Structure 1
Amino acid sequence: MTLLFTDIRLIDPEAEDGQPPIGWLRVENGVIAATGTGPAPTPPGGATRIDGAGACLAPGIVDLGVKVGEPGERHKESFKTAGRAAAAGGVTTMVTRPDSLTPIDNPETLEFVTRRGQETAPVRIAAMATLTRARAGREMTEIGFLKDAGAVAFSDGDHVLTDHRVLVRCLTYARSLGALVIGHPQDPGLSSGACITSGKFATLRGLPGVPPMAERIGLERDLALVELTGARYHADQVTTAAALPALRRAKATGLDVTAGISIHHLTLNTLDIGDYRTFFKVKPPLRHEEDRLAMVEALREGLIDIVCSMHTPQDEESKRLPFEEAAAGAVGLETLLPAALRLFHSGDLSLQALFRAMALNPARRLGLPGGTLAPGAPADLVLFDPDAPFVLDRFKLHSKSKNTPFDGARLQGRVRGTWVGGARVFG
């Protein structure tokens, strides 16, 4: 099947920042065949022509760090509902976390998750596996077997591995296999029981806070052990200015290290919690505005590599609790793109820079195809109008859970169509 997109603004993450050119793109047999600027060529016979009417065409988002409730918490999110939400948000690849109720710590569970996702989700599924059995931090999983079974990375999620010997053993073994380890930089002692970033606002609200230094301590520890072992490492969320010097030093010395951040930490701050609004309770907690601005600058300069949704569905019962007791997490598959476009409309980042962080960089880091508009790449594409305004209604989200901090927010940017391998899955 041949598709020809015409009158589109080409958002190429590999191009220089600036005004996107008006052009065209041709898809043949699920692969990008050619692209160019100016008037489109005459489409071949039988081709389907799609008039973009000046909308933006970009590579589909590769969302690193999506939690799906299967197996064990299907009432919160299933692969079917998560896949629909992803397609509606322009996400063409969900990189799923292993921190389900039944942890993904063996090849059989990984095979179930992969097969379930392929059968029910309209988008691509790339699954992570745990670093230790049951995420307990005591015994390393069979990293080699899990990698052979398709695991794209290894992580215990927000269960910080505190036994340094076990972590060194895991990093050393992962290094021998070329496997990527994803860490959660946080000192568990300082962050235990905390639900907000410490400061005057936390004191006024009477909530237990965690100092930003907890993130720096956790990251410094991880980077020291990465230097010792030579492993490939990705910090899932770097959210404080205090942690940036350590990250900068690690990259300057040539360590194979990257860092990510959630869209919530890029666009919200701790004051958004207001009068104990639990939809704004995430992990790590929202930071001060000074930290948020520092993260935007770090993303602009390339110190932070990846932006993700950190999609974490929670049911109503777990959020309708006092702030300190409520579950942490927010859904983000459908809000990742319009929330990220806030940074474009504010003049902080170009569209090319946004899609480098949301598509190209995560695809490259995980060794996945896509994330680019180059000929030969899979035709995983999103067509969107970056200027279309709307007010978000959480009950219209495709996710089973509706715990979004953007409920009622005024956003800009609507997805007009999503394609996976040249097949339209939304719009």
Structure 2
Amino acid sequence: MKIRLKNGKRLLETSGMEACEVLINNNKIEKIDRDLSLVQADEIIDLNGNLILPGFIDVHIHLREPGGEHKETIKSGTKAAARGGYTTVCAMPNTNPVPDNAATTRALLAKINEDAVVRVLPYAAITKGLKGKERTDIKKLTEMGVFAFTDDGVGIQTADFMLEAMKEAAACGASIVAHCEDNSIVYDGVVHDGKVSSRLKLPGIPSLSESVQIARDVLLAEATGCHYHVCHVSTKESVRVIRDAKRAGIKVTAEVTPHHLLMNEDSIMEDDANYKMNPPLRAVEDQQALLAGLLDGTIDFIATDHAPHAEDEKAKGFLHAPFGIVGLETAFPLLYTYLVKQEKITLHQLVDWLAIKPATVFNLPYGRLTERGIADLTVVNLEKEMVIDKASFYSKGKNTPFHQWEVTGIPVLTIAEGKVVYKEDVHE
């Protein structure tokens, strides 16, 4: 099956764009050129001048299945990913049952193979049941092909557990990915410990609860030689610790979410749990430090932390609703509109952080638009405008603080391994 994408554009290496057509042969990119009109193809898709990008990669999402199918399923979550331009997503292990042994991991891989619309690389847990009491068999689970290891949603509370996990992961060539949170100083908080907690009279989560655990872990990573990746960095102190660790040659990488880049605690006007996420929206100084960290390479890329919940769960307010917001379907338009178009970053940088850098950090053979590469492509209409409407989401989760935001730059076609997995009218 050969597909020709005609009348497209691609980014030049330095700046600007050029005319581009792509020939896909089964799951590979066979040819990229300015004009492929003389090449025979089984299907021709006219891109009407829209931009062809490498398929986006999100190393931090929650698909909820098994056990949380009322929030999201592998099928609904990967359809949402495809609509957002993502061709590879990495699913966190806070499911029921947890992928913490061979049997549960094997069952998860089978369900992914059956239902996923795009590529899903599952994490396995660091500790059994995510309870922090007994380590999983990292060697065996690595051999089964899991993406990396994390207890995302809870921090590893004791240094000895993290040290031993890093030793085993380093021996297996696996990565440890950490939600960093010291529970002893969280104080049952639900928002940032700052102006918003005072204004809404809600318990606050101190910045120190995140940064102090990162500081511990980078030293453990240095001692073990393990690749250590920090999830959803949210504080200026965390950025400083990671920057210092990189300068010291420690093998540490980090991600930031779109919501932490685009909002801060001042965005929260009332007790609306669609603004409740963990880590919380921090102070404006933290928001500024996160963008600066991206720009100077301290933070490596952007991940959504897509975390769907049922609407009735999120209606319970900050004190009782679960943490988390959805992000797969809105990430590119939001970041393009409010960072690229406002000239805070370039389009090249955004593509780097959504596709190229995640692939580079985790040694994935995706994320690039190259001949003989895997045919994972996202086509974006940079002129198309829309108002974000949570009712239109493919995801079961409608929990977003970005409802009714006006955005420009919409993914209109997603191809994963040579198959069209999402398509709207590219001529609109």
Q: Residues of 1 paired with 2:196 and 2:147: CA distance?
A: 40
351-360 or 127-136: bigger deviation: 351-360
Q: Which residue of 1 aligns with 2:8?
A: 8
Q: CA deviation at 1:381?
A: 0.6
Conservation of the 8 A alpha-carbon contact between 1:155 and 1:182: yes
Q: Which residue of 2 aligns with 1:413?
A: 409
Q: CA deviation at 1:48?
A: 2.9
Match among 351, 358, 365 for residue 355 of structure 1: 351
Deviations 1:53-82 (A, max 9, x none): 221111111111111121111111111111
Q: CA deviation at 1:282?
A: 0.6
CA RMSD of aligned residues (A): 1.5
Q: CA deviation at 1:26?
A: 2.3
Q: Residues of 2 paired with 1:114 and 1:59: CA distance?
A: 25
Q: Residues of 2 paired with 1:263 and 1:58: CA distance?
A: 19
Deviations 1:332-388 (A, max 9, x none): 111111122121111112222112111112122233221001222111111111231
Match among 27, 31, 35 for residue 32 of structure 2: 35
Q: Which residue of 2 aligns with 1:20?
A: 17
Q: CA deviation at 1:168?
A: 0.8
The alignment of Structure 1 onto Structure 2 pairs a total of residues equal to 422
Conservation of the 8 A alpha-carbon contact between 1:388 and 1:412: yes
- SS, match of residue 17 in structure 2: coil
Q: CA deviation at 1:43?
A: 3.5
Q: CA deviation at 1:420?
A: 0.7
Conservation of the 8 A alpha-carbon contact between 1:273 and 1:281: no
The residue type paired with residue 173 of structure 1 is: E
Q: Which residue of 1 aligns with 2:391?
A: 395
The residue type paired with residue 20 of structure 1 is: M
Q: Residues of 1 paired with 2:301 and 2:94: CA distance?
A: 20
Q: CA deviation at 1:47?
A: 4.5
Conservation of the 8 A alpha-carbon contact between 2:62 and 2:306: yes
Deviations 1:7-49 (A, max 9, x none): 322147xx33x2233322222222112324xx41334223533
Q: Residues of 2 paired with 1:298 and 1:164: CA distance?
A: 26
Q: Which residue of 2 aligns with 1:115?
A: 110
- SS, match of residue 111 in structure 1: helix
Conservation of the 8 A alpha-carbon contact between 1:153 and 1:366: no
Moved over 6 A (4+): none
Q: Residues of 2 paired with 1:386 and 1:45: CA distance?
A: 29
Q: Which residue of 1 aligns with 2:170?
A: 175
- Name the TM-score, length of structure 1 as normaliser: 0.95
The residue type paired with residue 30 of structure 2 is: A
Q: Residues of 2 paired with 1:8 and 1:293: CA distance?
A: 35
Q: Which runs of 5+ in 2 are unaligned?
A: 424-428
The residue type paired with residue 19 of structure 2 is: I
In the alignment, structure 1 residue 205 sits paired with structure 2 residue 200: yes
Aligned runs of 1:60-79 on 2, under 5 Å? Answer: 60-79=55-74
In the alignment, structure 1 residue 262 sits paired with structure 2 residue 257: yes
Q: Residues of 1 paired with 2:217 and 2:41: CA distance?
A: 55
Q: Residues of 1 paired with 2:75 and 2:96: CA distance?
A: 18
Q: Residues of 1 paired with 2:108 and 2:350: CA distance?
A: 29
Q: Which residue of 2 aligns with 1:228?
A: 223
Deviations 1:114-173 (A, max 9, x none): 221221121111010000111111211011111111111000002111121121111111
The residue type paired with residue 417 of structure 1 is: L
The residue type paired with residue 419 of structure 2 is: A
The residue type paired with residue 276 of structure 1 is: D
Conservation of the 8 A alpha-carbon contact between 2:232 and 2:303: no
Aligned runs of 1:10-409 on 2, under 5 Å? Answer: 10-11=10-11, 15-16=13-14, 18-36=15-33, 39-341=34-336, 342-409=338-405
- SS, match of residue 228 in structure 2: strand
Q: Residues of 2 paired with 1:66 and 1:188: CA distance?
A: 22
Alpha-carbon spacing, 1:192–1:31, altered in 2? closer, same or farther (3 Å): farther
The residue type paired with residue 143 of structure 1 is: I
The residue type paired with residue 47 of structure 2 is: G
Q: Which residue of 2 aligns with 1:425?
A: 421
Q: Residues of 1 paired with 2:291 and 2:277: CA distance?
A: 19
Conservation of the 8 A alpha-carbon contact between 2:196 and 2:268: no
Alpha-carbon spacing, 1:108–1:366, altered in 2? closer, same or farther (3 Å): farther
Conservation of the 8 A alpha-carbon contact between 1:4 and 1:43: no
Q: Residues of 2 paired with 1:30 and 1:230: CA distance?
A: 36
Deviations 1:207-227 (A, max 9, x none): 111222322211101111111
Q: CA deviation at 1:241?
A: 1.3
Q: Residues of 2 paired with 1:416 and 1:374: CA distance?
A: 20
Q: Residues of 2 paired with 1:322 and 1:2: CA distance?
A: 51
Q: Residues of 2 paired with 1:123 and 1:358: CA distance?
A: 16
Give aligned-pair identity as a percent: 30
The residue type paired with residue 280 of structure 2 is: P
